[in-house]
Structure 1
Amino acid sequence: MGEGKAVTGENLTGAGVAAATPDQEEVTPSGISGRIGSLDFIRGIAVMGILFANITAFGHSFMVYLWPPAMPGGPTEGDKIVWLIQYVFIDHKMRGLFTLLFGAGMMLFVEKAWGRGSGRWLQFRRLLWLLMFGLIHFYFIWFGDILQLYAVWGIIALPMMKWKAKTQLLTGLALYGLGTIAMAAMLGGQYFIATNPAVAANVSEETRTEIAQAEDKARKGIEEDLALYQRGSYPDFVRHQIIDETKKNIGGQAFGLFETLGMILMGMALYRFGLFSGGFEPEVMRFWGWTGLVGGAIASAGLGLWPYLADFPFFLTFFVFQGLMMIPRLAFVMGLLTLLVLWAPRATQGWLGQRVVAVGRMAFSNYLGTSIVMLFVFSGWALGLYGKLHRIELFGIVLLAWVVMLVWSKPWLERFRFGPLEWLWRCLTYWKLFSIRR
């Protein structure tokens, strides 16, 4: 579920989570004037990065994304190194970046609505439709959906939009911190029970049995996934999602209380503090941006080397990947966001930057479109590459998908006012048919 799915002990938000939704358009149906350009540029980078994070979960059992030894036939040294690189720079980070942008985009949307006599009810309808898109995505396209999390916790955040920015920020940090502590305690407890007999002696026999059987259970799940995606039909996949995955999906939404709602509120606060519109001195932003980015990367590298050098023990890998990542992750994401805001005005002047902006303006279409393409690339009833490619080979598919995003988004927007799914979402939100052509 990667960036597309939040984590519950682990179900795993990636972005996910990934993903990636385009909370980007103005309330006015007539155009895109007045946008904060840095939001589109950063959103474009985030949606491309989310694919890098998610590609292993597209092409393999989700367990392979978390734990390299789950790779069919065993991991190569390249698989292990790419896992480490993704851990330091990509995993969790892109979903976090996009969640902050989602919160900022919600604030931008509602501010413009207030200026035109509308309000949060319009955003509520918009998020309900986003939830419908998320349910379709989860049950009919890919299990790693993040749209439902954004919709559910975006709705919960609506009454908080008139809070003071400082209150939003502190509440978001508190929720994120509580989630970090809970995840570290849960996965750390499992790790110490599995590796320390003195600790194991103080828990129930049932808990010790579950811990002892966890790795075998995980490997059995991998075999079941291989059978489903390599030899099953598309109706088999849909049936599996409805019957077997609904309970996990609901559990994944519950975890959003900490990470998703927390980072949405942080994004709202950063928008209101003026991060995207020149509210901070560039020198201050540059200092804190590099401090967060470099400090977060160094801390992440130190953590990632722990399981890497130990050849990825099962519980240690989970503890590090899910339980210990969240603090350096927040520093990294905040630093990256700050530096991208500084870089955006210059970067968007070039041809590549303009294409990244177009990808960001069509993030919804690019996110769901990628999932549809990967469904056909990996499913056994289509191209059948599921379970057959190593991480470096999967990155080749990521590069091709990036090229497609960069090539098609800008020409589309030169002819049409919105991306195809952005247009559909807008029409459903206003319950009115808008012209898509320029």
Structure 2
Amino acid sequence: MSGTYAESGAGRGGMSGARGDATPDGAGDARLGDGAIAPVAANERIESLDFIRGIAVMGILAANIVGFGQPFLAYLYPAAFLTEHGAASEWMWIAQFVLVDGKMRGLFTLLFGAGLYLFMERVWARGGTRWRQMWRLAVLLVFGLVHFFLMWAGDILFYYAAIGFLVVPCLRWGVKAQLWTGLVGYVFGALLYAAALSFPFAVVETAAGETGDLAELREEMLADQERQLADDAVISEFKLSGDYAGLVAYRVREEWFVPLANLAVFVFETLPLMFLGVALYRLGFFSGAFDARRMRFWGWTGVIAGGLMHFGIGLFVREGGFAFYTVQAAFIGWSPLPRLAMVLGLAALMVEYSPRWTGELAERVRAAGRVAFTNYLGTSLVMLFLFHGWGLGLFGALDRPQLYVVVVLAWAAMLLWSKPWLERYRYGPLEWLWRSLTYGRLFAMKR
């Protein structure tokens, strides 16, 4: 994921009942009689939002794990692995591409948009203005920069906050305008990505680039591929050697522009999805206001149809030998439209089925979602210790199946700590910090 995220007290009748928090920090506010601010009670939350966010924060690690444990480009390009990437790993690449890549980010983005509106509902109810939201996003933007330069080059907090600044002025638009802006904007972005990434694929990976003027361009693109791999090797050497200070200095000196580049690349996906999240929240999608049978039908239709299209793209990539510009085209250029079908389908199915998932495991997933901000950044910190040379030094040592074992262990840790913590405390540690910085006051942590 080159580059956050963002869930039963409301019944199927709509949003007029109790409400929860769809924001990344996962804890809501309520106005008390004396004007104080307090967290939303457990029975007042929209539990589908907590559940979706819990699944997403766990799934996002499955997407990121290759970039943590292997060179960053290995996330897309199997040839960049420092270990063998055999046939079994190739099929795992396809499975991750179909089931995980981009879908967890998409779910987070929908929920982030919903959270922007939900937060403003509370602010407006207290007579506040959008400047509270703007300040909140500014704080998140700083979190993102710290995350990028000190922990994880695949940060998405920075560009979520930056794009959120564009959404906030539009929160009072009509819901239809927000919905159509999201849908039309997403399709436009998908077509733009397809055109931009299909051209290098055609030049480098097909016969079109072997003759005429394109032959020279092909050589330039191949040279750029080698430059990218060489730059990635420099980063890998810092991680292998344990020179953490050198890595941070290199990022500040040579990669200061990457957060801005990610913003430019992902704005045509992220901005429309945030608008869709706002519109779906206002329409009651997350609280069960939609017809249950239609939610199941369209949910399964989106997941199956989008999944089959992803699978076809994955087979094409495998047949082409996972070539550099082919995998880039597959991830960024060809998958956005089937990805939208899967993201909306998954969201619909989770909203529809999550009220029935009431066992211990489901409750722990919801708890992980309520402290998703801490789990997201905390995972980066743990992976820093596991893989860098100054820690356990596992960078480049684990193949793809072994990296997935690390994912399962990290999932277990998320599920084990989140629920007991929330039984004693109102917020996760970083949720508390973000909230306190947002309001300029220290909130009580203990229940």
Residue 334 of structure 2 aligns with which residue?
324
Residue 416 of structure 2 aligns with which residue?
407
Residue 398 of structure 1 aligns with which residue?
407
1:110 deviates by 1.0
Residue 9 of structure 1 aligns with which residue?
none
1:297 aligns with 2:299: no
Question: Are the aligned partners of 2:23 and 2:111 in contact in 1 as well (CA < 8 Å)?
Answer: no
1:69 aligns with 2:71: no
Q: What is the one-letter code of the residue matched to 1:376?
A: F
1:120 deviates by 1.9
1:423 aligns with 2:425: no
**In 2: Cα distance, 1:426 partner to 1:354 partner:** 24
1:368-394: CA deviation from partner (whole Å, max 9, x where unpaired):
000000001010111111111111100
**In 2: Cα distance, 1:116 partner to 1:94 partner:** 33
Which range moves more in the overlay, 220-229 or 304-313?
220-229
1:23 deviates by 4.8
Residue 377 of structure 2 aligns with which residue?
368
Which range moves more in the overlay, 374-383 or 200-209?
200-209
Q: Secondary structure in 1 aligned to 2:82?
A: coil
1:157 aligns with 2:167: yes
Residue 268 of structure 1 aligns with which residue?
278
Q: Secondary structure in 2 aligned to 1:44?
A: helix
Counterparts of 1:32-431 in structure 2, within 5 Å, are 32-33=40-41, 34-199=44-209, 201=211, 203=213, 207-347=217-357, 349-431=358-440
Question: Are the aligned partners of 1:56 and 1:62 in contact in 2 as well (CA < 8 Å)?
Answer: yes
Residue 24 of structure 2 aligns with which residue?
22
Question: Are the aligned partners of 1:293 and 1:336 in contact in 2 as well (CA < 8 Å)?
Answer: yes
**In 2: Cα distance, 1:201 partner to 1:107 partner:** 53
Question: Are the aligned partners of 1:175 and 1:258 in contact in 2 as well (CA < 8 Å)?
Answer: yes
Residue 31 of structure 1 aligns with which residue?
39
1:158-196: CA deviation from partner (whole Å, max 9, x where unpaired):
011011111111111222222212221121101111134
Question: Are the aligned partners of 2:158 and 2:259 in contact in 1 as well (CA < 8 Å)?
Answer: no
- TM-score when normalising by structure 1: 0.93
Which range moves more in the overlay, 262-271 or 64-73?
64-73
Q: Judging changes above 3 Å, is the alpha-carbon distance between structure 1 residues 277 and 73 closer, same or farther for their aligned structure 2 residues? A: closer
Unpaired runs of 5+ in structure 2? 7-21, 31-36
Q: Judging changes above 3 Å, is the alpha-carbon distance between structure 1 residues 229 and 21 closer, same or farther for their aligned structure 2 residues? A: farther
Q: Judging changes above 3 Å, is the alpha-carbon distance between structure 1 residues 202 and 179 closer, same or farther for their aligned structure 2 residues? A: farther
1:84-124: CA deviation from partner (whole Å, max 9, x where unpaired):
00000000110001110111111111112212222322211
Question: Are the aligned partners of 1:36 and 1:276 in contact in 2 as well (CA < 8 Å)?
Answer: yes
Q: Judging changes above 3 Å, is the alpha-carbon distance between structure 1 residues 422 and 73 closer, same or farther for their aligned structure 2 residues? A: closer
Q: Secondary structure in 2 aligned to 1:276?
A: helix
Q: Judging changes above 3 Å, is the alpha-carbon distance between structure 1 residues 21 and 403 closer, same or farther for their aligned structure 2 residues? A: farther
Aligned residue-pair number = 424
Q: Secondary structure in 2 aligned to 1:267?
A: helix
Question: Are the aligned partners of 1:134 and 1:146 in contact in 2 as well (CA < 8 Å)?
Answer: yes
**In 1: Cα distance, 2:152 partner to 2:327 partner:** 25
**In 2: Cα distance, 1:156 partner to 1:201 partner:** 44
**In 2: Cα distance, 1:103 partner to 1:335 partner:** 17
Q: What is the alpha-carbon root mean square deviation over aligned residues?
A: 1.8
**In 2: Cα distance, 1:90 partner to 1:243 partner:** 33
1:216 deviates by 2.7
Q: What is the one-letter code of the residue matched to 1:149?
A: Y
Which range moves more in the overlay, 112-121 or 232-241?
112-121
**In 2: Cα distance, 1:163 partner to 1:335 partner:** 25
Question: Are the aligned partners of 1:175 and 1:257 in contact in 2 as well (CA < 8 Å)?
Answer: no
Q: Judging changes above 3 Å, is the alpha-carbon distance between structure 1 residues 198 and 435 closer, same or farther for their aligned structure 2 residues? A: closer
**In 2: Cα distance, 1:142 partner to 1:310 partner:** 30
Q: What is the one-letter code of the residue matched to 1:395?
A: Y
Q: Judging changes above 3 Å, is the alpha-carbon distance between structure 1 residues 209 and 359 closer, same or farther for their aligned structure 2 residues? A: same
Q: Secondary structure in 2 aligned to 1:159?
A: helix
Question: Are the aligned partners of 2:303 and 2:346 in contact in 1 as well (CA < 8 Å)?
Answer: yes
1:333-352: CA deviation from partner (whole Å, max 9, x where unpaired):
100000000011111x2111
**In 2: Cα distance, 1:148 partner to 1:271 partner:** 23
Residue 10 of structure 1 aligns with which residue?
none
Q: What is the one-letter code of the residue matched to 2:235?
A: D
Q: Secondary structure in 1 aligned to 2:392?
A: coil
**In 2: Cα distance, 1:434 partner to 1:144 partner:** 31
1:404 deviates by 0.5
Q: What is the one-letter code of the residue matched to 2:273?
A: M
